Structures are given as C-alpha cells and as structure tokens.
Amino acid sequence: MASAVKCSSFSKYLKDEGVAGLKSGYTYLVDTKGKMIYHKDKNKIGKSVENEAVKGLIEKLNTNAKVERDTINYVYNGAKKIAGYDFSKKTGWIVVTTVDEGEAVAPINSLIRKLVLIFSVLGLIAVVLCYLFVERITSPLKKVVKLIDETSRFELNYKNEYDDLLKYKEKLELLQMQLII
C-alpha cells in the first residue's frame, strides 16, 4: 500500500537553518532509486542524487546488503564534505545531513590552536621558574667555587662580591665539616 507525500511537507522538519549552527550544513532525503525526495535546493527534487558516496549506499541497500548509519567524507563542487546518514527500514529512504568539512572542524582547530598557545605560555613560564629556582640554588655555590679558586691562587684580598655569602655562614660551616670528615 503506497501513499502520496508532498515534498513540501518535509520542509517544516528539514528547515534550511544549517546543521548545529553551521551555515553550510543541510539535510536531504533520497529514495531507493537515487531520486531526491527533499533538498534545500528545490530544483534538485526529483532528480538523481549527485553524490557518489550516497549512490554507493543506494546500491548496497538495493542488493539487501547490511547498511547501518554512519558518516562519509566526499568532495562536492570542490568542497570537502562530511555527511552523516541513516535510513528508514520501511521506505528505504536515506536521510543525509551534510556540512563543509572546513566549517565543521573549524571550532576544533581553533580550540587546538588556543590550547597549544596556552600550554606554550605555561611551558615557557615553567622553564623560566625552573631557571630562576636553579639559579638561586647554584649562584651561591658558583661564588664559593670562585672564592676557593681565588684562595688556591693566594688571592686573599677582601672583595665585596662575597659579602652576601655571609648569610649562608651556617650552611657553609656544615659543608666544611662534611668536607673534613
């Protein structure tokens, strides 16, 4: 038993508002013979589907091959597209929702760029903090090594550059005791 369906009746369900806010996205219906039942471009209704990937799905459906909802990638008029499809088991019609790949992945690419920037800045900050921490630890040790070197050459003159080592006097005494032992 068949019934007539006006193509315009699909319009209220498959409005030309884009898909998930993506301007290039739209949905169309294809019957088991590959004819457009609904498309946002009314001139395509009743004509054969142009998408080779969807034509392949129709062939599989017509040979009773098992086909489940999935996504496909294809090129249409020079634009890379991503489409998701499902079909009605009763009518065999295929519902295809498609969008330009560039527009679909743009938010993801933007997020990746932001994350790379954020982690690069955080990495740079971590490197600077590590450098400052290491410098704070090694700077007095470098001065002690320089002082020992000068002392070994009998340069025993008083130098102001070593005055800040006096605040490490207790630690140096511990170091000295360790060296003696």
pLDDT digits (tens, 9 = 90+) for 69-92: 899 888 888 889 999 998 887 887
Cα–Cα distance between 143 and 26 in angstroms, integer?
71
| SS3 of residue 2 by DSSP | coil
| SS3 of residue 51 by DSSP | coil
pTM listed for this prediction: 0.61
Q: Of 77, 123, 120, 133, which Cα lies nearest the Cα of 100?
A: 77
* Position 5 pLDDT exceeds 60: no
Q: Could you tell me the fold of the domain covering 12-100?
A: Beta-Lactamase (3.30.450)
